[in-house]
């Protein structure tokens, strides 16, 4: 049953992550969470609070309807680890640092004017893109921690 519990928890958290990170997060939180000082820290704290609430609101009915045996301790530890790591990455400078020390700085800047091969318009000005390397690294970082949180929730 643990493998099935893990799978159900992971799917619920993955969907909730996408909803919480893209639909629930406000534009103000998104714009301010990388700012230095308390302005950025509080913006990211508000984002992580609504994101974690979204995850709990999605996971609770899934667990109830599927009869998953989840412990309160597992939920607290799993969602806590997910929240702390999400907060850390979303401060932006921390994830940029991780990209730099792992040799991914150039990929991190992909899709921005800072990248050596940035997209340009016909007139040579930077062109908008649908995604960036920073966004891809951000989401993959979160996905790893969703996996870890799901294992904790399913097994503790």
Under DSSP, the state recorded for 92 is: S
How does 105-140 read in b/e, with b if 16+ C-beta sit within 10 Å?
Answer: eebbbbbeeebeeeeeeeeeeeeeeeebbbeebbee
Contact between 70 and 5 under an 8 Å Cβ cutoff? The reply is: yes
20-71 residue pLDDT tens: 999 999 999 999 999 999 999 999 999 999 999 999 999 999 999 999 999 9
pLDDT at 123: 81
Q: Give the confidence band of 15 by pLDDT, cuts at 50, 70, 90.
A: very high
The pTM score is 0.87
74-115 pLDDT, tens per residue? 999 999 999 999 999 999 899 999 999 999 988 887 776 666
Spell out the domain ranges in the chain.
2-155
């Amino acid at each position: 049953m643990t493998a099935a519990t893990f799978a159900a928890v992971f799917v619920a958290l993955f969907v909730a992550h996408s909803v919480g990170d893209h639909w629930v997060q406000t534009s103000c939180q998104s714009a301010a969470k990388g700012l230095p000082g308390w302005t950025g820290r509080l913006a990211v704290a508000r984002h992580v609070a609504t994101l974690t609430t979204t995850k709990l609101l999605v996971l609770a009915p899934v667990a109830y309807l599927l009869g998953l045996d989840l412990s309160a301790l597992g939920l607290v530890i799993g969602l806590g680890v997910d929240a702390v790591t999400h907060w850390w990455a979303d401060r932006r400078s921390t994830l940029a640092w991780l990209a730099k020390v792992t040799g991914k700085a150039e990929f991190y800047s992909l899709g921005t004017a800072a990248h050596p091969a940035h997209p340009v318009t016909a007139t040579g000005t930077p062109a908008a893109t649908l995604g960036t390397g920073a966004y891809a690294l951000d989401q993959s970082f979160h996905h790893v921690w969703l996996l870890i949180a799901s294992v904790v929730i399913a097994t503790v």
